[in-house]
Structure 1
């Protein structure tokens, strides 16, 4: 169990590695912020559509026909989008939030909050899967943890840059990225302690499909519009392309 927890923790901490990027450049301007919003959207959309949903369909196909598995997975994804739309209303709107530090628009802070929340939600079931796999098969757990770590590095960047831009604090950017990664081992330990007898591959993969819907909604509703409104220099489009490319490579490396 200790080995499985260590593997899950190391995979989660890789998010903090991505967050360290903010230590190497000045506080981003509008163009960089636009790029980072597009990058975050590209990362989240790619991991949802190229990794999370296909994985759910593949798992469901083991117990049900392909068409039924696809319908169940997409229905859960749609439920995640609806849930994200409802949760979005719990976050103050731009008009209700004060202008950020040094005149930074409130929308930047809101987008940073939403992005961080979505990635934390994504990391929770990911941590559970890593822990349980490592506990059952240490060699397979190492492979899964390596794949998760590759995913988490660009996710850390996607968190730290918007937070740094919105708050002017490098430390906050790094800390938010690290804390989101720590959600993996924390969620895994909690699930293992309280829900070990109830968790199943079908349940966990259904949860993954739900969170894929959350991430897709956040990307389309928050990140892409905010990115394109932040700059007129095509930064969001460039970030979107780079995010898709980087995450696609990360998914297929392991």
Structure 2
């Protein structure tokens, strides 16, 4: 059941990525702008509700300094991609590569969260039931569905290759079960770092949103499409994060 539980979020990503397989025609420019806006909204909401708020909550024992791990992790995440460009000048990422990278980074702490709750279930004194652990996995899987589509559809819009687009989505999600297994094995060591990693992933995602997605979605005409799509993506992810 533990193996099945840690694979559930990965399945959600794969199902979302499979949405690209149902596309029959070339994506229109207006639809592409809307998808970019939707992606930006989903990533912004996920950064706040899935990453930053949990990072602060997990640091509640610090009292009024509970914001500190989230603050440190967030700015380290913001600085990650510019630092990669500076330190590795030959590694230049376009917007879709940055999108895949940011979502992949975001999935690592989510996988660690799943691993942590299953570590609590496996521990005799963990106080976590199987139902609790599965509920978290299913909730993250539901959140991962739009994230899988957020990866595969923009990649398809650029490459026009469905197989490559679906694989990019799968690749971004496969880190979750890997991170979960590592967390279960090294729970005592990795658990204190989770708030920093959550906020770090949020910073990387916000950087991509501000630096790449929003400017790209705002070019030319159809700006209203991207704006309303951003609001819709933000609202969908916010509801999923809070409900599940």
Smaller-chain TM-score range?
0.7 to 0.9
Deviation at 1:208, TM superposition (A): 0.6
- Output the CA distance in 2 between the equivalents of 1:50 and 1:205: 13
**Which residue in 1 is equivalent to 2:209?**
219
Confirm whether residue 132 of structure 1 aligns to residue 111 of structure 2.
no
- Output the CA distance in 2 between the equivalents of 1:165 and 1:69: 41
- Output the CA distance in 1 between the equivalents of 2:56 and 2:139: 19
**Which residue in 2 is equivalent to 1:76?**
73
Between Structure 1 and Structure 2, how many residues are aligned?
A: 232
- Output the CA distance in 2 between the equivalents of 1:88 and 1:239: 30
Give the secondary-structure state (helix, strand or coil) at the position aligned to 1:27: coil
Moved over 4 A (4+): 88-91
**Which residue in 2 is equivalent to 1:199?**
190
Confirm whether residue 59 of structure 1 aligns to residue 43 of structure 2.
no
In the superposition, the TM-score normalised over structure 1's length comes to 0.84
Deviation at 1:212, TM superposition (A): 0.8
- For residues 63-93 of structure 1, give each alpha carbon's deviation from its aligned partner in whole angstroms, at most 9, with x where no partner exists: 2113x11133223211211123223555426
CA gap of 1:230–1:114, structure 2 versus 1, over 3 A, is: farther
Deviation at 1:187, TM superposition (A): 2.5
**Which residue in 2 is equivalent to 1:103?**
none
- Output the CA distance in 1 between the equivalents of 2:167 and 2:83: 27
- Output the CA distance in 2 between the equivalents of 1:197 and 1:248: 31
Deviation at 1:233, TM superposition (A): 4.4
**Which residue in 1 is equivalent to 2:9?**
11
Counterpart pick for 1:145 among 131, 137, 151: 137
User: Do 2:41 and 2:230's aligned partners in 1 also have CA atoms closer than 8 Å?
Assistant: yes
**Which residue in 1 is equivalent to 2:124?**
none
User: Do 2:118 and 2:184's aligned partners in 1 also have CA atoms closer than 8 Å?
Assistant: no
Deviation at 1:234, TM superposition (A): 2.3
